[in-house]
């Protein structure tokens, strides 16, 4: 979770820009954002180590400070397009900043430090410690990734990784404007844009990894079955339904999590894919040699 006042970082100037000798405003090539309340506050322990690391290895890269998510988005909004943002936090941190990142045409590198890091894991960044991940976020090449757009009864939001819907009731489903029959009732739905390989390959509810740049959303439905059936006859993988657009309707409000963040229950969900909407570092970049991910000299 990231409360509205969760932004904490080292003190920073009112602007991240500087002036050259001619008095022209020069924006920094990159900035670092640290969500100190990610992982229930454990990410805050990185504040001073990250500041020391930047002073030694990237003295021109500032840390941003903001009192709220709204203020942090406002600070991102004044950055020049293609400015690189090294984002220290988890899925919820990325989710909170997606509107500003997309609107500003900014590039993103992730430093996984949250309670949920499924997007970073899907990009194989979980193999790095925070120093390697920060170096990678600041210097590795970027490539386009897909972002999801979801509309509920209460809001229109973006998501990068996974939407979890606790159903437990009959649902109506349309995929690309075609009505689709669902097992009734469905216990749980998962709308995936990026998911990592399962850590436990014998887990009953394991799902195949979903690539963040495959130009598709993937809807997985899990029929409601008694616990003994799920344990004795676990499905190898829930069925996946590829889609560009979908709509889900229910008679009763459905609890929903977007990138690990709880949202108000909703009776209707509309979702669509925004292909190649964001530039991001990670293992999806064709020119990136994965064997260099642990090399801190480049």
**Which residues make up the CATH 2.60.200.40 domain(s) of the chain?**
148-275
Distance from C-alpha of 178 to C-alpha of 201, rounded to nearest angstrom? 33
CB atoms within 10 A of CB 144: 16
pLDDT at 286: 76
Distance from C-alpha of 109 to C-alpha of 126, rounded to nearest angstrom? 13
| CATH architecture of structural domain 148-275 | Sandwich (2.60)
Distance from C-alpha of 199 to C-alpha of 220, rounded to nearest angstrom? 18
Range in 3-17, 19-33, 54-68, 189-203 with the lowest mean pLDDT: 3-17
**Which residues make up the CATH 3.40.50.10330 domain(s) of the chain?**
18-140
pLDDT tens, position by position, 114-128: 999 999 999 999 989
Query: What number is the average pLDDT over the span 1-22?
Result: 39
CB atoms within 10 A of CB 289: 9
- Residue 162: how many CA atoms within 13 Å on its side-chain side? 25
Secondary structure (H, E, C), 174-214: EECCEEECCCCCEEEEEEECCECCCCCCCCCCCCCCECCCC
Query: What number is the average pLDDT over the span 166-187?
Result: 87
CA end-to-end span of the chain: 34
Q: Assign 232 a pLDDT band (cuts: 50, 70, 90).
A: low
CB atoms within 10 A of CB 213: 18
**How deeply is 146 buried, as exposed, middle or buried, from its count of CB atoms within 10 A (0-12, 13-18, 19+)?**
buried
What would the CATH number be for the domain defined by 18-140?
Answer: 3.40.50.10330
Q: Check: CB of residue 47 under 8 Å from CB of residue 65.
A: no
pLDDT at 167: 86
Q: Assign 12 a pLDDT band (cuts: 50, 70, 90).
A: very low
pLDDT at 206: 56
Q: Model pTM greater than 0.75? A: yes
Distance from C-alpha of 48 to C-alpha of 281, rounded to nearest angstrom? 24
pLDDT at 236: 47
pLDDT tens, position by position, 246-261: 999 999 999 999 999 9
Give the list of residues 6+ apart from residue 280 with CB closer than 8 angstroms, or none: 107, 108, 109, 110, 123, 142, 143, 144, 145, 212
């Amino acid at each position: 979770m990231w409360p509205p006042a969760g932004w904490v970082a080292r003190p920073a100037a009112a602007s991240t820009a500087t002036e050259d000798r001619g008095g022209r405003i020069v924006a920094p090539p990159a900035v670092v954002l640290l969500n100190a309340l990610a992982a229930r506050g454990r990410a805050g322990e990185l504040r001073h180590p990250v500041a020391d690391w930047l002073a030694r290895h990237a003295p021109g890269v500032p840390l941003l400070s903001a009192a709220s998510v709204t203020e942090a988005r406002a600070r991102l909004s004044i950055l020049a397009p293609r400015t690189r943002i090294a984002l220290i936090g988890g899925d919820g941190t990325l989710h909170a900043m997606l509107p500003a990142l997309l609107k500003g045409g900014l590039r993103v590198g992730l430093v996984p430090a949250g309670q949920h890091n499924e997007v970073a894991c899907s990009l194989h960044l979980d193999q790095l410690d925070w120093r390697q991940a920060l170096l990678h976020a600041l210097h590795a090449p970027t490539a386009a990734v897909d972002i999801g757009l979801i509309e509920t009864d209460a809001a229109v939001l973006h998501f990068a990784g996974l939407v979890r819907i606790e159903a437990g009731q009959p649902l109506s489903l349309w995929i690309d404007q075609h009505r689709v029959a669902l097992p009734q009732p469905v216990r749980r739905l998962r709308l995936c844009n990026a998911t990592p390989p399962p850590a436990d390959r014998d887990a009953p509810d394991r799902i195949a990894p979903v690539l963040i740049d495959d130009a598709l959303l993937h809807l997985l439905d899990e029929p409601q079955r008694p616990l003994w059936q799920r344990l004795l006859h676990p499905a190898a993988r829930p069925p996946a339904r590829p889609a560009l657009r979908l709509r889900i309707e229910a008679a009763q409000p459905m609890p929903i999590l977007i990138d690990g963040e709880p949202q108000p229950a909703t009776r209707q969900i509309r979702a669509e894919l925004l292909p190649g909407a964001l530039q991001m570092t990670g293992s999806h970049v064709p020119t990136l040699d994965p064997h260099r991910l642990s090399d801190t000299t480049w």
